[in-house]
Each structure stands twice: as structure tokens, then as C-alpha cells.
């Protein structure tokens, strides 16, 4: 029964179509036809959660004290583990009582942040392409989005000079994300310094999404926003344990930074949820305390896949670079195809699932994101299928550098 006389809130109607929902439909249709899908679409890690983390969760689950409502602002042990991890990784000191807050995955945290800080009509700066939660959260809160269109010519970095003065004066918040999803771009420390100076000059709040902090290769070390002098006075940083620690289904992340921002996000969450299951927090704290050898193994796994896939795509003539971070490859659609038409054609012809670039905003049109979430054997099958279907680039090895 359709209730035509009851309409959903306008905030839902303002949301753009969710491209991933269409992608799910295409995958379901292909499976119903018996097609063997090789899903390189979602950023869903394929490895198991570390044994030590699972064992910690089992032990916590067997403790009846963890079965009640968790502390509103997170357990002391998890918040302390977050701050100790930051100190080890970035030499950044944080107060575990006031500057760290567990969230139910970074997507939830980013969206709740928007509800805590965005009023109807507020102008929010969001890069395009970008992670959908960066613009959907502000839209849900009634904000007005100003897209900062990124370009390959500028290495997918935000060009602050392209933001009109009148926009900068109105802007309340700038979302950004390096290492970047979906483009895999990385940003030097100097870029972060420029962003902080820009934000302080125009009194703009900074939200940095750093969910690929540990997935970096070839000696590259990502910069934390909070490393930059003055950044903690005007910003926060979000992290997730989904990618590095294979904990996507556990729904665990955290926000750190300015104490006032953390306080207000906590205040909103107090009215929205009862916090994260204490068992998950215990497991997350154990993950952050794992020895570096675990991180090195994860990095090696994805680096091997990256090298294999990039080489294979180049041999097919695709224009791709070797990313320094994330577990994606960002590629231009051969022959100038539109993103959605291209991925649908690839899926129908080969059973290989890719993500269209326009799922991340208009700035991603003409590109596709390929996830390194299958082992090299399956990646090899995917490459063979692309070759057999004639899905090749315009000329071999268009990009030779890394």
C-alpha cells in the first residue's frame, strides 16, 4: 500500500540519487543470471579481522560488565588507546577526556557532525569528487553545498585560489580527505599548512577525513591535520578502523581534535544513540595497540595487488597512476565514456564490478574507482576478462610515471 498522502521530509528529497543503490541493482541482476562477479566496487576489505582483536572481543563478550549501556563518551580505555596511537603515529598530544570521541564508523560520525554544526542555509565547502558523506551529511542538515571541483592537472588537490572571496566569506565548514577517496591523491604537509591558514583567515571550521591513514606505500607517510600548528583550534579529524584492521562490519571509528567541537558532537550523539557496544570498543583499543609488523603486512598485501593491477591495466592501455596510498586505483574511462555507462557495460560484458566516478560527485565524471579487495589471482581473471571483451585504452602505457 502506497501512502501518497504522507510525504517524506524535504531533506530526503534534496538528496541526490545514490549511485551505489543502482550498482547494487546491477549486481543483483547479474547474479540472478548466474554471472560470476568479481566485485572491485566497494571499499570492503577482504581479509579477516586480526586474531588478537577477535580474541579481545571474545574475552570482553564473556564479561557481563560489558553488556550494559556503554559510557556516553566512550570507554576510558578506548579513548586512551586513540590518544596513545596519535602520539606514536604523529607526535600529537591529545586529552583523552575532551579531545577524542568514538563514533559508529566515520560515515556516521561525519553525518552526525553535520547535524551538530550545520544550520539550514549554511554554506559548506566540499571537494568533488569526494566521499559521499562529506556532502550528504550537510545536505541532510539543510546546508548549501559549494563544490570545489578537483582536477587531474592539479593532482586532485584542492586549489584554494578557485574559491571566490564571497564564497570563502560565507563558508562555515570545509570538508577534505587526504589520502583521498576516490582519487587516491596524497597531499604534502605544505598543502595542509595552506588549508589551515586559509581557514583561520576566513574563520572556517575544518573537517579532515583520514580513514586511509595507514594504507600508504613506498615510504610515503600521510600527514595528520592535527600536526599543523593551530589546526586543533579550528578543526577535527575522523578515522575509521574499517580499512586497516578489516573491521568494516564492526562499525567503529573516532573523531579527535578541538575540544569544543568534540563536546558538541558528543552532545548530539547523546541524544541520537547510546554509544558503541563496549565489546567493540575493547576490540578497537586492541587493534590500535597492535605491533607495527601487522601494519607492514597489510601495506605489503595491498602494495602487491596495486602493482599487479596497475601493470595489467597499463598493458591494456588504460591511463592509470601508481597510487601512494589507499587501496584503490583511480582510472580514466577509456575513449571518454561516461562513468555509469562504462561500468554497466563492463559489468554486462565481463562480470567485473567497478565504481563509477560520478558516485563521488560531478567532479568524478569520466573516471572509475577500482578497489584492491581481491587477491592477485582474481585480479588476473578480471584483467583477462577485460582483455577478451576488448575493454582497452586508447593507446598502451599512457602514463609511465608513478
**What are φ and ψ of residue 63, in 5° steps?**
-100, 115
| Same-domain check for residues 135 and 284 | yes
| Same-domain check for residues 202 and 129 | yes
| Same-domain check for residues 233 and 348 | no
pLDDT of 116-134, one tens digit each? 999 999 999 999 999 999 9
Q: Of 274, 291, 308, which residue constitutes the final position of a domain?
A: 291
Q: What pTM does this model have?
A: 0.92
Q: Distance of alpha carbon 77 from its chain centroid, rounded?
A: 25
Residue 215 lies inside a defined structural domain of this protein: yes
| Same-domain check for residues 195 and 282 | yes
Question: Cβ–Cβ contacts within 10 Å for residue 115, how many?
Answer: 17
Residue-level pLDDT at 397: 33
- What CATH number does the domain containing 78 carry? 3.40.640.10
Q: Of 291, 307, 338, which residue constitutes the final position of a domain?
A: 291
Please give the Cα distance from 379 to 387 (Å, whole number): 12
| Same-domain check for residues 220 and 138 | yes
| Same-domain check for residues 320 and 331 | yes
Helix (H, G, I), strand (E, B) or coil at 352: strand
Owner of C-alpha cell 571483451: 389
- State the residue range of the domain holding 58: 51-291
| Sheet containing 171-176, strands listed edge to edge, beginning at the edge strand earlier in sequence | 100-103, 253-257, 235-240, 205-209, 171-176, 123-128, 144-149
Residue-level pLDDT at 400: 31
Nearest 5°: the CA angle 276, 254, 135 is 105
| Same-domain check for residues 277 and 158 | yes
- What CATH number does the domain containing 355 carry? 3.90.1150.10
| Same-domain check for residues 205 and 164 | yes
**What are φ and ψ of residue 362, in 5° steps?**
-60, -25
Which stretches does DSSP call E strand in 234-390? 235-240, 253-257, 328-332, 352-353, 355-356, 367-371
| Same-domain check for residues 23 and 85 | no
Please give the Cα distance from 115 to 132 (Å, whole number): 15
Q: What is the dihedral of CA 374, 377, 378, 382, to 10 degrees?
A: 120
Which residues, listed in sequence order, are joined to residue 368 by a DSSP beta bridge?
Answer: 331, 356
Domain count, the chain: 2
Q: Of 232, 259, 291, which residue constitutes the final position of a domain?
A: 291
The string over 219-254, giving b where at least 16 C-beta atoms fall within 10 Å of a residue's C-beta and e elsewhere, is eeebbbbbbbeebbebbbbbbbbbbbbbbbebbbbb
| Number of helices (H), then strands (E), in the chain | 13, 12
Residue-level pLDDT at 3: 66
Please give the Cα distance from 241 to 212 (Å, whole number): 9
Grouped pLDDT means (10 residues each) for the chain, 402 residues: 73 74 80 88 90 97 92 94 97 97 94 96 97 93 96 96 97 98 97 98 97 94 97 97 94 97 95 91 97 95 97 92 96 85 91 94 94 96 94 50 36
H/E segment holding residue 264: helix 259-272
Residue-level pLDDT at 1: 54
Residue 146 lies inside a defined structural domain of this protein: yes
| Same-domain check for residues 187 and 328 | no
Please give the Cα distance from 352 to 342 (Å, whole number): 11
Q: Which of 110, 140, 149 has its CA nearest to residue 122?
A: 140
Strand 38-39 and strand 352-353: the pairing is parallel
Residue-level pLDDT at 275: 87
Which residues, listed in sequence order, are joined to residue 80 by a DSSP beta bridge?
Answer: none
Amino acid at each position: 500500500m502506497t501512502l501518497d498522502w504522507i510525504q517524506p521530509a524535504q531533506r530526503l528529497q534534496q538528496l541526490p540519487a545514490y549511485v551505489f543503490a543502482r550498482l547494487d541493482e546491477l549486481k543483483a541482476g547479474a547474479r540472478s543470471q548466474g554471472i560470476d562477479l568479481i566485485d572491485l566496487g566497494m571499499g570492503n576489505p577482504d581479509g579477516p579481522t586480526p586474531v588478537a582483536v577477535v580474541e579481545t572481543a571474545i574475552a570482553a563478550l564473556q564479561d557481563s560488565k560489558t553488556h550494559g549501556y556503554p559510557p556516553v563518551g566512550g570507554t576510558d580505555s578506548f579513548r586512551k588507546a586513540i590518544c596513545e596511537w596519535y602520539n606514536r603515529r604523529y607526535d600529537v598530544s591529545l586529552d583523552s577526556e575532551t579531545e577524542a570521541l568514538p563514533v559508529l564508523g566515520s560515515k556516521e560520525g561525519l553525518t552526525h557532525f553535520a547535524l551538530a554544526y550545520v544550520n539550514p542555509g549554511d554554506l559548506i565547502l566540499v571537494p568533488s569528487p569526494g566521499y559521499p558523506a562529506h556532502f550528504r551529511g550537510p545536505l541532510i542538515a539543510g546546508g548549501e553545498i559549494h563544490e570545489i571541483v578537483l582536477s587531474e592537472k592539479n593532482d586532485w588537490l584542492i586549489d584554494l585560489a578557485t574559491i571566490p572571496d564571497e564564497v570563502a566569506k560565507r563558508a562555515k565548514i570545509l570538508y577534505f580527505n587526504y589520502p583521498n577517496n576516490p582519487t587516491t591523491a596524497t597531499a604534502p604537509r605544505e598543502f595542509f599548512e595552506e588549508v589551515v591558514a586559509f581557514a583561520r583567515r576566513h574563520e572556517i571550521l575544518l573537517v579532515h577525513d583520514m580513514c586511509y591513514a595507514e594504507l600508504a606505500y613506498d615510504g610515503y607517510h600521510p600527514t595528520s591535520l592535527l600536526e599543523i600548528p593551530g589546526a586543533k583550534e579550528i578543526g577535527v579529524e575522523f578515522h575509521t578502523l574499517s580499512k586497516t584492521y578489516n573491521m568494516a562490519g564492526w562499525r567503529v571509528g573516532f573523531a579527535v581534535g578541538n575540544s569544543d567541537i568534540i563536546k558538541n558532537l558528543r552532545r548530539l550523539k547523546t541524544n541520537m544513540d547510546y554509544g558503541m557496544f563496549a565489546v567493540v570498543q575493547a576490540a578497537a583499543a586492541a587493534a590500535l595497540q597492535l605491533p607495527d609488523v601487522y601494519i607492514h603486512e597489510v601495506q605489503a598485501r595491498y602494495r602487491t595487488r596495486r602493482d599487479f593491477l596497475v601493470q595489467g591495466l597499463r598493458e591494456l592501455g588504460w591511463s592509470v597512476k601508481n597510487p601512494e596510498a589507499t587501496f584503490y586505483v583511480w582510472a580514466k574511462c577509456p575513449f571518454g565514456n561516461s562513468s555509469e555507462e562504462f561500468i554497466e557495460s563492463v559489468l554486462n560484458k565481463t562480470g567485473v564490478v567497478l565504481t563509477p566516478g560520478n558516485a563521488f560527485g560531478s567532479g568524478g565524471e569520466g573516471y572509475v574507482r577500482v578497489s584492491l579487495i581481491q587477491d592477485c589471482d582474481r585480479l588476473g581473471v578480471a584483467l583477462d576478462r577485460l582483455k577478451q571483451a576488448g575493454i582497452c585504452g586508447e593507446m598502451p602505457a599512457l602514463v609511465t610515471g608513478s
